[in-house]
A and B are shown apart, each in its own frame.
Chain A
Amino acid sequence: MPSRSNDALFRTLTATAADGIIVIDERGLIGIYNAACERLFGYTQDEVIGKNVNMLMPTPYRKEHDSYLENYRETGRARIMGIGREVIGQRKDGTTFPMYLSVGKGILDTQTIYVGIIRDLTARNSALKKMQELQNELLHVSRLSAMGQMTAAIAHELNQPLTAVLNYINASRRLISGLKDPQAARVSDLIERAGNQINRAGQIIRQLREFVEKRETARIEVNINTVVEEAVNLAVVGSADANVRMKLDLAPALSPVLIDKIQVQQVLLNLLRNSVEAMQQVSTRELRISTVPDPEGWVEVRVADSGPGLPPEVLSRLFQPFVTTKEKGMGIGLSICQSIIEAHGGRIWAGPAEEGGAVFHFCLPPSKGAAELV
C-alpha cells in the first residue's frame, strides 16, 4: 500500500513534469495522463482515462497501435521500448504535431504497464526547417554570386591580353603612319580595323563587369560578429562536423563595417568548410574563430584550424584564379574570396597557426571610412 507521502510525491511529480507522462495497460487503455498531456493534446484527463491511447494518434498509426501491443505481448519484440523515437501525435482539435516518445515497461500490482514520456518537438522542428531554408537560400544566392565573381575574375584575366594587343596595335599604327611605302596605308587601315575589334571586345567586358558590379549597392553597415556567428551556425549543421570543437573569440568593441553580407558570409563559409575538411585526418579537431580590432579601426577575422597546415608550395598558389580545389557544397574558391574581400577594400591572407595548423585572415575597413568615400 503506497504511503501518503509517496502518493503526494507521485502527484507532484506528474503534475509538475514538463513532459507528458502517459501510463497504459496491456490493452492500451490510459491509466495516467498528466497535466502536461492536457496542454499537449488538448484533452482533459477525464476525457481520456480508461480510453485507448490510440485516440491520441492520427491514422494510420491509430489502427496499427493495437497490433503493436499484441505483437509485443506475443513475441517480446519491441519497436519502441527503451529506444524512443519521433512520432506524430494528434490533438483534440484534429491537428497533428511531432513528438518524441520514449516508452518503458513496468509491473504494477502484477499487471504489465507501459510508461510513455512525451516531448513536444514542434519548436525544434520548425527551427530546423528554418535553418534548412536559410541554408538553401544561401546556397542558391552563393551560386549566383559565385558565378558573378567568376565572371568578374574572367573579365579581368581577359583584359590583360586585350590591353596588350591594343597597345601593340596602336604602337604599330603610329610607327606605320610615317612610312612612305605604298602598302603602308593599306596595312595601317587593316590595323585600325583590328583595333576597333579590340575596342569592341573591351566594351563587352566592360558591360559584363558593370552587370556584376550592381551588387555593390547591396552593402549594409553591420557588426562583423553577427555575420561570423550566423556563418558558424550555418557551417556546422552537417554531421561530419559533430566532432569539431569550435572556439569563438569575438572582440566586443569593433567598428561596424559596410559590406555585402551575403558575399562576406560566403567567404567565411568557404574558410570554415576548408578548415573542417583539412582536419578530417587528424584526431584533434579544433576550429578557432576570432575577430580582432586593429589600431586603425579595421576589423580582422581569423579562422584557425588544428589540421596539418599549409606547405609553402600550396601557400604561394592559394589565391590564384581557376586553381581547382574541392568544390563541395558551398565552396566558392579562394580566388573568389579574394575578389570579394578586395572589392570591399580589404585583404585576405593565410599563414601557419601556432599549434601547427593553418590560419586564414581577412580584414575589412571600418564603415566610417567607406561612408566618407561614397
Chain B
Amino acid sequence: MLSEHPPRMIYIVDDDDAVRDSLKALLESLGFEVKDFNSAREFLAERKVDASGCLLLDLHMPVMSGIDLLEHMRDNGPQLPTIVITGRSDGFLKERALRSGARAFIDKPVADDVLIAAIDRALGDV
C-alpha cells in the first residue's frame, strides 16, 4: 500500500538525538523521505514544507514545546497533519495536544505497526 505512492515526506521534531536518528532509520526503511529537526524553532525556520507530508512531534522540548508548536501551526501554519509521539503522556496533556490540532497521540516506545497505521491515516486524510 505504501509502495504505490511516491515517497512521502515525514518531518520529525524531537530534541533527543537518538530518538530522532532511530526514527529516521525506521521510516527510511519503510520507504519514506525524512527530514528531522532538533527543535520546534529549527522546523519553523524551514522554508519549503511539503504539505502532503506529515509531522512526528515530541511534546517535551525546551524553549518551545510540542504544544507551543501545535498552537503556532494552528494559528500561522504550515498546515501539516501532526502525530504526537511522547514518552511522558497523561490524560490532560493528551487532550490538550488533540485540541491543539494533533491527529494522533502515540506513547513511547513506539510499536512500528502503530506508527505506520497512524501515518497512513494522517497521509490518507490529506
Contacts and interface: CB of A to CB of B under 8 A. Distances in A.
Interface of A: 152, 155-156, 159-168, 170-172, 174-175, 198-199, 201-202, 206, 213, 216, 342-345, 370, 373
Contacts, number: 84
Interface in B55-100: 60, 87-88, 90-93, 95-96, 99
Contacts of B60: 156, 342
B88 A164 contact: no
B95 A167 contact: no
Contact of A345 (B96, B109, B111): B96
B109 A162 contact: yes
Contact of B18 (A160, A216, A370): A160
A343 B23 CA distance: 26
A373 B87 contact: no
B51 interface: no
A164 B19 contact: yes
B68 to A, nearest CB: 10
A344 B28 CA distance: 37
A167 B22 contact: yes
Contacts of B120: none
Contact of B92 (A168, A198, A370): A370
Contact of B19 (A163, A370, A373): A163
A159 B90 contact: no
A163 B109 contact: yes
B19 A167 contact: yes
Nearest to A159: B87
B108 A216 contact: no
A364 to B, nearest CB: 12
21 contacts: A155-B87, A163-B109, A163-B110, A164-B19, A164-B21, A166-B22, A167-B19, A167-B25, A167-B110, A167-B112, A168-B22, A170-B26, A170-B112, A174-B29, A202-B108, A202-B109, A342-B60, A343-B90, A343-B92, A345-B96, A373-B95
Contacts of A175: 29
Interface residues of B, number: 27
Contacts of B21: 164
B50 interface: no
B109 A216 contact: no
Instruction: Tell me whether chain A's interface is mostly helix, strand or loop, or mixed.
Output: helix
A186 to B, nearest CB: 19
A174 B113 CA distance: 12
A251 B77 CA distance: 37
Contacts of A165: 22, 109
A216 B22 contact: no
Contact of A344 (B29, B92, B107): B92
Contact of B109 (A152, A166, A343, A344): A166
Given A159-B108, A162-B108, A174-B26, 13 more contacts: A159-B88, A159-B109, A160-B18, A160-B108, A162-B109, A168-B22, A170-B26, A171-B22, A171-B28, A201-B109, A206-B107, A344-B92, A373-B92
Nearest to A373: B95
Interface string B1-32: 00000000000000010110111011011100
A342 B111 CA distance: 26
B92 A167 contact: no
Which 10 residue pairs are nearest across A and B when measured between Cβ atoms?
A167-B22, A159-B87, A164-B18, A171-B25, A164-B22, A170-B112, A171-B26, A174-B29, A163-B108, A163-B109
B93 A345 contact: yes
A201 to B, nearest CB: 8
Contacts of A199: 109, 111
Nearest to A162: B109
Given A202-B109, A216-B92, A345-B96, A171 B29 contact: yes
A164 B21 CA distance: 8
Nearest to A170: B112
Contact of B110 (A155, A166, A343, A345): A166
Contacts of B109: 159, 162-163, 165-166, 198-199, 201-202
